[in-house]
Amino acid sequence: MTASAATGASAGPRRFLLRGHAVRRGLSPLVVAALLIVVAVIVCAIAGPAIAPHDPNAQDLATGISGPSSEHWLGTDDLGRDVLSRTIVGARTAVVGPLLVALGAMLIGNLLGLLAGYRGGTLDTLVSRYADLVYALPALLVAIVVVGVVGGGYFVAVALLVVLYSPVDTRLVRSATLVQRSQPYVEAARVSGIPSRRIIFAHLWPNVLPIAVANAFLTFAFSIVSLAALSFLGLGVGPGTADWGRMLSDSRTLLFDNEWTALAPGIALVLTAASVNVVGDWVFERLSDRGRVR
């Protein structure tokens, strides 16, 4: 048979399928909105000080707390600091910590999950029991105790959350690996004499990645809220830092003078966490579509 005939005949139906998916899974308004919010937050995290209309830490004790005005769109807090500027700059701690947690947990989880799932045996038992053990710990409570007792602030909290969230990734990746391991394409690779390490990382991992990435977005959203909660309790960033959780905590007494001191960081927190979830779902669908077979 000629290859070109085969090409022409088979390209038709596949292209159709793909087009159908594109229509169904295209950018819905919700995804577009979520993407815009995520991009805006990332821009603020990178270039916050440059964008902010005022120095976020410049105090103006003479003004003190004030409501929204043309000079301060979201008003000022009790030290006369610009709420809008602080919210913009606060994006940095809101993004950096969760990003580290998500990536760290994904790295550890993928490594342990792939090895445990592929090798099986004692290694699998050890990894799984370890994951169960850590899984059983209430993450936030452990973080509160450790950071409260040991101290160390934000980055100790981040490191703790990496360890405490990684069992979720480990379990997910392990079970996805178990499914892939018995697929004929993996067995064919084994029969070809490809070394296990290469099978795991070059052949199997790309097929597990979509679910790992999707979960990383979830971890990210969880950690935004967790780190903000720690900051709220005074266990995260240092006092005076522009941070959403910290701002929420500081604004408790200011609610009746300028409600935006609480609303601005609160809304930013909720919108970011929700948007990251939506974007995560979307990325997962896109990724798992790539290799769709039937």
Partner 1 sequence: MSGLLEVRGLHIASAAGTIVDRLDLDLAAGETIGIVGESGSGKSLTAKAVIGLLPPGVDATGSVRFDERELLATSERQLRRLRGAEIALMLQDPFTMLSPLMRVGRQITETIRDEDGRRLSRSAARVEAASRLAEVGIHDPAVADRYPYQLSGGMRQRVGLAAALASDPRVLIADEPSTALDVTTQREILRLIRSTQDRRGMSVILVTHDLRVAFSFCERIYVLYAGALLETATAQALEDQPLHPYTHGLLTSEPPLSRRVAKLEAIPGSVPAAEAVLGECAFAPRCAWVESVCRAERPALREIAPQRLTACRRIDAIAPELVVSLPPAAARVAAANGMEPVVRIRDLAKSFGATYALDGVSLDIAPGASVGLVGESGSGKTTLARCLVGLERPTGGVVEIDGTDVTDYDALSARERDEARRAVQIVFQDPYSTLNPARTVGFTLSEAVRRSAAGRAERSRSVTELLELVGLSRSFAARKPAALSGGERQRVAIARSLALRPKILICDEPVSALDVSVQAQILNLLGELNERLGLGYLFITHDLAVVRQVTETLHVLHDGRVVESGPTEQILGAPAHAYTRSLIASVPQSNATWLAPVAP
> b or e along 104-137 (b: 16 or more beta carbons within 10 Å of the residue's beta carbon)?
bbbebbbbbbbbbbbeeeeebeebbeebeebeee
Q: Rounded to the nearest whole angstrom, what is the least distance from the CB of residue 125 to partner 1 in the complex?
A: 20
Q: How far is the CB of 196 from partner 1 (least distance, A)?
A: 12
Q: Provide the token pair at 214.
A: 């999707």
Tell me if 114 sits within 8 A of 201, measured CB to CB: yes
Q: Closer CB to partner 1, residue 199 or residue 254? A: 199
By the rule CB under 8 A, 110 interacts with partner 1: no
Residues 180-239 that bind partner 1 (CB under 8 A): 183-185, 187-194, 198, 202-203, 206-207, 209
Nearer residue to partner 1 within complex by CB, 20 or 120 = 20
The DSSP 8-state label assigned to residue 237 in this structure reads S
Least gap, CB of 1 to partner 1 (angstroms): 4
**Helix/strand/coil for 76:** strand
CA distance 97 to 38: 15
Distance separating alpha carbons of residues 234 and 211, to the nearest angstrom? 34
Quick one: how far is CA 107 from the chain centroid?
A: 13
Nearest approach, Cβ of residue 123 and partner 1 (Å):
16
| Interaction between residue 292 and partner 1 (CB under 8 A) | yes
What does the alpha-carbon distance between residue 27 and residue 169 come to, in Å, rounded to a whole number? Answer: 27
Closer residue to partner 1 (CB): 155 or 185: 185
Q: Is 122 in the site for partner 1 (CB under 8 A)?
A: no
Q: Is 20 in the site for partner 1 (CB under 8 A)?
A: yes
Chain residues in the site for partner 1 (CB under 8 A): 1-14, 16-17, 19-20, 23, 183-185, 187-194, 198, 202-203, 206-207, 209, 290-294
